[in-house]
Amino acid sequence: MRIALLTTDNREHYRDYQASVPYFGTAPEALLEGFARLPEAEVHVVSCTQQAGPAPERLAANIFFHSLRVPKFGWARTGFQGCIRAVRRRLRAIRPDIVHGQGTERDCALSAAFSGYPNVVTVHGNMRRIARVTRARPFSYWWVAARLEAFTLPRSQGVVCLTRHTQSEVAGLANRTWIVPNAVPAVFFDINAQPQPNAPPRVLCVGNVCHLKNQNAFIRALDGLVDTWSIQATFLGRAQRGEPYADEFFRLVEARPWCLWGGFADRGKLSESYLKATLLALPSLEDNCPMAVMEAMAAGVPVVAAGVGGVPDLIEEGKTGFLCDPLDAASMRRAIEKVLLAPSAAGNMARQAKSRAQQRFHPEVIARRHIEIYREVLGVPSTNEAAGSGRSTSPGTARPVPSDTVSQPS
């Protein structure tokens, strides 16, 4: 099966055009890791950038990379028309069986929906929901992203939802839906968290510093635990000085010797942090399928997370983690104390969570589920069905010719 995966090259997102290799974010890269294990899949990753940069021909033996340069005028100010047209031109050369757009906040979902090929879209963050929670002002980033999402989803043939939360959010827009969580990079399954037994409890919080991630309220909630537990709280994620929320965060951290901001963490730094963590805390006001929770589960780290959005799809209260109310400081403290008061039970819970993560979030598991979805969209029987009926499942024999008359966004 020939798959075109449309995703953001984060070198564009962070204006890091000189980086030697593209990077797509943890979830898309984990999905690609899974596809690399499936020789029956031929994957073409397509990304748009405003400036040219290094572009390897292949990311793996069966994964090709296409970097498309699109001038600034072809981006948001024109409804991503330049990206849509550039992607369509490249897809005519690739001739995929199916096109998969990753994320609804930028150009990828639009380019998939207007590709002229069978297509699906994955919603990573619920843009309309986030716009409501943050009370996004007209023409702000979240306001625009919410409208892009509402415009795109009905024009795709189906929506891959990471959680039931997303499925409920898109129910009135999507033609059909499937629930498939993000994949977790295999390296996190190789970690077995080993916090030092006599060291102060290490509370790890992973996420870019912003109102949505709720770090400031969480720090204030921890004030009520410090005298009893002598905890050390480490915050990993980007923070932009000069933004009011981030500036308040820095004031809170600097006034508390038990708080540390570690900045952006790559996969190596995250792995080291999970290895030593007593627990991971995620106090978000809104989240769909947070990678930090899934990575911590895979690494065997006890998890305390806000019971919002899609998080309850990932955590079973008291069995694979603890949920709390991110608007209630006492609720956050109680959930953390459940881990601290019973470390042996918390360790057993973390091991159970690790086992479930292996079954649910491993890259190969998620990649195979995507192949099943693509076959459903294309009307191709699954391998098991074909084996029972004697029919061939060879992809590519009915590859459609793209239509030049597919409507474009106005």
Task: Give the Cα separation of 252 and 26 in Å (integer).
Answer: 29
Give the pLDDT confidence score for residue 393 in this predicted structure. 35
Predicted model pTM = 0.88
Task: Give the Cα separation of 114 and 405 in Å (integer).
Answer: 10
Angle ∠(276,266,306) on CA atoms, nearest 5? 65
Task: Identify the H or E element spanning 68.
Answer: strand 63-69
Domains of the chain, start order: 2-183+363-389 (3.40.50.2000), 187-361 (3.40.50.2000)
Report residues of the chain scoring pLDDT below 50.
Answer: 386-410
Write down the H helix ranges in 67-174: 81-94, 108-113, 127-133, 141-152, 164-170
pLDDT in tens, 183-235: 999 999 999 988 777 789 999 999 999 999 999 999 999 999 998 999 999 99
**179 Cβ contact list (under 8 Å, min separation 6):** 161, 162, 163, 164, 166, 167, 313
Task: Give the Cα separation of 34 and 296 in Å (integer).
Answer: 19
Task: Give the Cα separation of 174 and 162 in Å (integer).
Answer: 14
DSSP 3-state of 361: helix
Task: Give the Cα separation of 27 and 293 in Å (integer).
Answer: 13
pLDDT in tens, 369-401: 999 999 999 998 866 554 444 333 333 333 333
**328 Cβ contact list (under 8 Å, min separation 6):** none
Give the pLDDT confidence score for residue 403 in this predicted structure. 33
Give the pLDDT confidence score for residue 385 in this predicted structure. 54
Give the pLDDT confidence score for residue 384 in this predicted structure. 55
Compute CA distances 89 → 34, 85, 114, 116, whole Å: 27, 6, 12, 11
